[in-house]
Amino acid sequence: MPSPYRAIFAAPGSKGFSFAGFFGRMPMSMMGIGVVTMISQLTGRYGLAGALSATLAMSAAVMGPQISRLVDRHGQARVLRPATLASVAAVAGLLVCAQQGAPDWTLFVFSAAAGCVPSVGSMVRARWAAIYRGSPRELHTAYAWESIVDEGCFVLGPIVSIGLSTAWFPEAGPLLAAALLLIGVFWLTAQRSTEPVPHPREQHTRASAMRSGGLQVLVLTFVATGAIFGAVDVVTVAFAEEQGHKAAASVVLAVYALGSCVAGLVFGLLHLKGPAGRRWLVGVCAMAVSMIPLQLAGSLTFLAVALFVAGLSIAPTMVTTMALVEAHVPRTKLTEGMTWISTGLAVGVALGSSAAGWTVDAAGADAGYAVPAVAGAVAAVVALLGYRRLNRPVPTREGRADEHDQHDEHESHVA
């Protein structure tokens, strides 16, 4: 491991919570595709499978920030354990109803309830922020490491989930995802020494972290960014099928994630100076531009190369985004603020995959790559319009909770 990464893990307990976070995050890439695979195998109804997956994603997008808000107030252990048990129980109900051929409405009820799954990635990043607050170099490397872990989950998760459900039994993928969530969260919350200090009710107002103008820009941009990811996934599967090699879609998409992993690894080694907002804007625009070559894809080989290049801008942009969240959101609402980013991505993925599916059905896979191109353009426009908010000087807020809700936070180490 390169020395900057080795250095961040010198902190007591850091290896434990990061490793636990890996297990807890695997379900984010396994559950949705696992439900699609399970339902399509049991019923042959892809429309129902997609609708249930979308319900799960939208439910998580709605409930995730609320769970994280409670975490900021009461602590990770007190909130995450009951939320995880509720989510796992809902998944169990979904699997039983699907296997027993229960009415469709029961599947939607349990899918919606399963959305109370916590944002484990945000919990892990909050621990890094608590350890290395005031140490910008180490925190930059820590965020880069967690982006690499995210991409690793997205490389492994779908392959494991689909493989188990097709080779073993239909419910195997979602079942393993639920088990990993349970193991990861309980392992993470057992590590109390690195848990961020909660902020009691009396230190909070009812205002959401979304009152921050900077966070609003980040979330809106990541709705469009999520649409890129969702559309690329759907169109790539359709494109591979048109090429007569549908199974190769998983390899091509893994190459996309690999590009992000490589970029994240290198990005974490860099000692960067200058405004984080400028780096973020460059990253968003690079993601938008990287969608243009996909319009020229004529073979899976060309597509794989183009997606690898496109992936190079993902992890650096995500790393910078988390640094900006920390700069513009009060410490008492940091976990909630990070979760709003995941929420924006989840909403965007649902919108992008739906739009891409309609486009592919109407005009074919080649035309489908116009959807991520349009989403990228929207992301770039929103980022450009909101750039001033991200670089607007914000008073440092170390004091009262009412000051936390009146201004955007600015940590000098991010600038």
Range of the domain at 61: 16-189
Residue 201 lies in a domain: no
Greater model confidence, 39 or 176: 176
Specify the range with the lowest mean pLDDT, choosing from 172-181, 341-350, 365-374, 405-414: 405-414
More confident residue, 62 or 91: 91
2 assigned to some structural domain? no
The number of CA neighbours under 13 Å toward the Cβ of 285 is 11
Let me know whether 261 and 174 are in one domain. Answer: no
Domain endpoint, select from 126, 158, 189? 189
Residue-wise pLDDT for 266-302, tens only, equals 887 777 777 778 888 999 999 999 999 999 888 899 9
The secondary element (H helix, E strand) that includes residue 176 is: helix 172-189
Residue 262 vs residue 4, higher pLDDT: 262
Average of per-residue pLDDT values in the chain? 81
Checking if the pLDDT of 344 tops 70, the result is yes
Query: Are 118 and 243 in the same domain?
Result: no
Q: Within a domain: residue 3?
A: no
Q: What is the pLDDT of residue 413?
A: 35
Confidence of residue 90 (pLDDT cuts 50, 70, 90): very high
Please report, rounded to a whole number, the percentage of residues in the chain having pLDDT higher than 90: 24
Please count the other Cβ atoms lying within 10 Å of the Cβ belonging to residue 162.
18
Q: How far apart are CA 19 and CA 149, in angstroms?
A: 9
Q: Quick check: 179 pLDDT over 90? A: yes
Q: Which residue did the predictor score with more confidence, 202 or 285?
A: 285
4 part of a folded domain: no
Cα Rg for the chain, rounded, in angstroms? Answer: 20
One domain for residues 139 and 233: no
Same domain, 215 and 178: no
Question: Are 325 and 255 part of one and the same domain?
Answer: yes
| Residue 247 included in any domain | yes
pLDDT tens-digit profile of 362-409?
Answer: 888 888 899 999 999 999 999 999 888 777 655 444 433 333 333 333
pLDDT in tens, 257-275: 888 888 888 887 777 777 7
Q: How many domains, the chain?
A: 2
CATH number of the domain to which 81 belongs = 1.20.1250
Domain final residue, candidates 159, 189, 219: 189
pLDDT at 336 over 70: yes
* CA neighbor of 5 nearest in space, from 269, 384, 354, 285: 269
For position 383, which CATH number holds? 1.20.1250.20
Task: Identify whether the C-beta of residue 33 lies closer than 8 Å to the C-beta of residue 204.
Answer: no
